[in-house]
Amino acid sequence: MDKFQEMTSFVAVVDAGSFVGAADAIGMSKAAVSRHVAELEQRLGARLLHRTTRRLSLTDDGQLFYARAKEMLAAVDEAESEISSRSGEPSGRLRINAPLSFGVLHLAPLWPRFAQLYPKVSLDIELSDRVVDLVEEGYDLAIRITNLPNSQLVSRQLATTRMIACASPQYLAQHGTPAHPDELAQHEVISYSYFAARDEWTFTAPHETPVVVHTHARIHANNGDTCRAAALEHQGIILQPDFIVADDLRRGDLVELLPTWRTMTLGIHAVYPSRKHLPIKTRRLVDFLVEGFAVPRWEVAR
């Protein structure tokens, strides 16, 4: 049996958390993946996985072998990338993480075009609002929507997004339209759980002292589209990026509040672990995304 294929199947099982998921990820049958792992364990003379009907977990030997196998597979992938970079044609798998709403609304339409441009590159896209560890979790690139702190990661800004406080006309007709940020404290709020300031919203205006409002959320959600859906059902006020609410504002389904006040503008960044030995497939993706967001379609005129 090919040792490389055994390692590939084993690592895929651990990454996917199941034999079925691993089979889908590497394009093999579940039976073949199970056979590879069983033969690997037999050859090593050690059990690598605890198997139950509900879940898989690594043994101590499995944890050690997984770490080493992951390093070796990554080294092979990097070697292939270096060779392909000489020919100028990207190839191999790109593992990408992006926020859920942004990924669905604004990245999903771009992936088919990238796949057409670079047919030898395969895309493995995970959408999650959780901040992943690129190095520990093995991602080639992530999209981050934030004001990036200093870090060892390398980034390129793709665009910016403005946070907008808004609500439905029906909610405002029933509860009143706030004329000053302080009044938000008396309103129903739908809060985004991953927002760095949680339920404290900061507003600034020319010639005004910044105002920090301690809002009272009746709903918390860890996804921006869930907050938006609640606002469209007249449940309260949201503070969400314009790339989520721009179309609703244009149609009048949501109304921007406190237009003379500003909250914050965040950068939308492509983040990757290092500029050193950057694989050509990652470089091509970053350049593609920079071009794709040269003119963002979500900006709302003030």
pLDDT digit of tens for each residue in the chain (302 aa)? 578 888 899 999 998 888 988 888 888 888 889 999 999 899 999 999 988 777 788 898 988 899 888 888 877 776 766 665 555 688 899 999 999 999 999 999 999 999 999 999 999 999 998 888 888 888 999 999 988 765 667 889 999 999 999 999 999 999 999 999 999 999 999 999 888 778 899 999 988 889 999 999 989 999 999 999 999 999 999 999 999 999 999 999 999 999 999 998 999 999 998 766 678 899 999 999 999 999 887 876 65
Q: Check if the beta carbon of residue 273 is closer than 8 Å to that of residue 135.
A: yes
Predicted local distance difference test score (pLDDT) of residue 284: 93
Question: What pLDDT was estimated at residue 259?
Answer: 93
d(CA 36, CA 16): 16
Model pLDDT, residue 235: 96
Confidence at residue 84, expressed as pLDDT on a 0 to 100 scale: 57
Q: For position 180, what pLDDT does the model report?
A: 95
Report the alpha-carbon distance of residue 218 to residue 161 in Å, rounded: 25
Check: CB of residue 157 under 8 Å from CB of residue 269: yes
Neighbours of 3 (CB within 10 A): 12
Residues contacting 89, CB < 8 A, separation 6+: 118, 120
CA-wise closest residue to 127 among 153, 101, 164, 149 = 101
How far apart are alpha carbons 272 and 286 in whole angstroms? 9
Residue 232: how many other CB atoms lie within 10 Å: 17
The whole-number pLDDT of residue 275 equals: 61
* pTM across the whole model: 0.69
| DSSP assignment string, 199-216 | TEEEEB-TTS--EEEE-E
Report the alpha-carbon distance of residue 190 to residue 192 in Å, rounded. 7
pLDDT of 119 reads: 95
